[in-house]
């Protein structure tokens, strides 16, 4: 153990959470096209703050032109329009207003608002074609994506809008509850809407072939086509939800990968930063997830892009976190228990360094390859069952390319401290990742 601690102490870099504080990590990132920035919880201020500072540096100094979030496509696209000076929203708070479903604090918080304000100001000094954008990768917005498709088609092709309305009418018997549809379709109570959602996506793809690449019309069509892709994948996801957690998890992360690749193609192979939980961005093959058949976005990115990608994880030992006790309950400032013995977090705490960066290569890689526990807190935190609810086994050097440890962390500050029952409620219980 002492040898491992000495190795970490020798190779650790102290860092500051500002644009100039990540020099060793920026050197390690080099010319990578994709940088995936994780978090060990969905409610820790320091994770969001460090991620925002690093992203500012990547955009300003490394030529990154897009930020992709573990967020719903239509909600994030409103933010994209604002940061790229293409909307009537007056402030970042206004642009973030479509993030209404639980857990709204994930994206409606002070750090995200400040970062989007910075991005809006940064883009003001750049020509329209060179402005950095913001996009969502998740698939929970089935009904709001349908609404966005219909609004778009009513403007450009009323007849196509009527055909789309008829197709998506397949979901009408279930109101605003996609889980009710998923259950009914999975047990044979109702026919599936699979043919309808695939047909609508095919129609939009055919229309895309008639548009001039790079035009404003092509951008708006891409937004609509991605919504149609989301509806197709969400329809599969809600049916899979009742067949087992592994299948639905895999469909969700494969959708994230499909969306990321579509975005790369549309933007002309840009450099993209991804913000999501460690559980989605660390290579699943290095965790217990692989043993139960799960994959994730980090694994898929590494398999597809190899050395052109970097996976960066975050860890903490103790502090406070913004989370809920149960699904769709108000956000709370909760005490995070000190990390367990035998975990990577406790090992990092025992170095006495407080806040540091580790590049997981060479001697560090060899020292940390022994499988250990790792903590993951989603939007629900259950300290009374923490070992069962929030820890899993992993090999950190295979999971990430680098890790940032912040020993004492504090709760994220939401813009609102309430949640509300809304449509398209995701089913990620109990981990809520």
* Residue 423: predicted pLDDT: 35
Residue 426 has pLDDT above 70, yes or no: no
Q: In the block, which residue shows the tokens 């939009």?
A: 204
CATH code matching the domain that covers 1-138+271-433, chosen among 1.20.140.150, 3.40.1660.10, 3.90.1150.10, 3.10.129.10 = 3.40.1660.10
Residue 62 has pLDDT above 90, yes or no: yes
With bands split at pLDDT 50, 70 and 90, how would you rate the model's confidence at 215? low
- Which tokens is 252 given? 């969700």
Residue 430 has pLDDT above 60, yes or no: no
Which of 238-252, 396-410, 416-430 is the most confident on average? 396-410
* Residue 354: predicted pLDDT: 93
* Residue 417: predicted pLDDT: 67
9-41: pLDDT as tens digits = 999 999 988 778 899 999 999 999 999 999 999
242 against 396, higher pLDDT: 396
Q: What are phi and psi of 316, to 5 degrees?
A: -150, 160
* Residue 421: predicted pLDDT: 37
Q: What percent of the chain has pLDDT over 70?
A: 95
* Residue 427: predicted pLDDT: 44
Total-model pTM = 0.93
Q: What are phi and psi of 165, to 5 degrees?
A: -60, -40
**Average pLDDT for 130-158:** 95
For 140-168, the three-class secondary structure string (H helix, E strand, C coil) is CCHHHHHHHHHHHHHHHCHHHHHHHHHHH
Exposed, middle or buried by CB within 10 Å (0-12, 13-18, 19+), for 333? middle
Task: Round the average pLDDT of the chain to a whole number and report it.
Answer: 92
With bands split at pLDDT 50, 70 and 90, how would you rate the model's confidence at 425? very low
Residue 244 has pLDDT above 90, yes or no: no
Exposed, middle or buried by CB within 10 Å (0-12, 13-18, 19+), for 420? exposed
217 against 276, higher pLDDT: 276
* Residue 424: predicted pLDDT: 40
Picking from 162, 161, 171, 166, the residue whose alpha carbon sits closest to that of residue 193 is: 171
Q: What are phi and psi of 293, to 5 degrees?
A: 95, 10
Residue 221 has pLDDT above 70, yes or no: yes
**Domain locations along the chain:** 1-138+271-433, 139-243
């Amino acid at each position: 153990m002492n040898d491992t601690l000495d190795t970490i102490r020798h190779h650790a870099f102290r860092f500051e959470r500002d644009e100039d504080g990540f020099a060793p990590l920026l050197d390690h990132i080099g010319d990578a096209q994709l940088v995936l920035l994780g978090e060990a919880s969905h409610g820790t201020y320091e994770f969001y703050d460090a991620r925002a500072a690093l992203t500012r540096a990547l955009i300003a100094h490394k030529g990154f032109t897009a930020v992709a979030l573990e967020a719903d496509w239509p909600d994030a696209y409103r933010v994209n329009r604002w940061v790229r000076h293409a909307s009537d929203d007056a402030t970042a708070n206004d642009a973030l207003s479509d993030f209404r479903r639980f857990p709204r604090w994930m994206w409606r918080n002070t750090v995200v608002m400040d970062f989007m304000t910075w991005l809006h100001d940064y883009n003001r000094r750049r020509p329209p074609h060179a402005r950095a954008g913001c996009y969502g990768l998740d698939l929970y917005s089935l009904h709001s994506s349908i609404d966005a498709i219909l609004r778009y088609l009513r403007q450009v092709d009323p007849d196509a809008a009527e055909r789309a309305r008829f197709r998506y009418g397949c979901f009408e018997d279930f109101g605003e509850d996609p889980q009710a549809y998923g259950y009914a379709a999975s047990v044979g109570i109702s026919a599936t809407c699979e043919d309808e959602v695939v047909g609508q996506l095919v129609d939009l793809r055919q229309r895309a072939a008639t548009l001039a690449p790079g035009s404003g019309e092509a951008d708006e069509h891409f937004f609509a086509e991605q919504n149609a892709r989301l509806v197709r994948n969400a329809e599969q996801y809600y049916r899979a939800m009742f067949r087992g957690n592994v299948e639905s998890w895999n469909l969700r992360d494969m959708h994230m990968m499909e969306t990321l690749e579509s975005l790369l193609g549309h933007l002309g192979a840009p450099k993209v930063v991804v913000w999501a939980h460690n559980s989605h961005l660390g290579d699943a093959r290095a965790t217990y997830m692989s043993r139960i058949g799960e994959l994730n976005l980090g694994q898929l990115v590494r398999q597809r892009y190899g050395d052109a990608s970097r996976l960066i994880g975050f860890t903490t030992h103790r502090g406070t976190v913004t989370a809920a006790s149960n699904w769709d309950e108000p956000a709370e400032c909760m005490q995070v228990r000190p990390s367990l013995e035998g975990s990577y977090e406790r090992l990092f705490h025992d170095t006495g360094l407080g806040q540091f960066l580790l590049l997981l290569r060479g001697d560090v890689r060899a020292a940390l390859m022994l499988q250990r526990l790792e903590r993951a807190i989603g939007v629900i935190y259950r300290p009374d069952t923490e070992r069962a609810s929030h820890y899993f086994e992993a090999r950190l050097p295979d999971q990430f390319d680098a890790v940032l440890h912040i020993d004492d962390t504090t709760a994220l500050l939401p813009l609102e401290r309430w949640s509300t029952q809304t449509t398209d409620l995701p089913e990620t219980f109990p981990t809520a990742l």
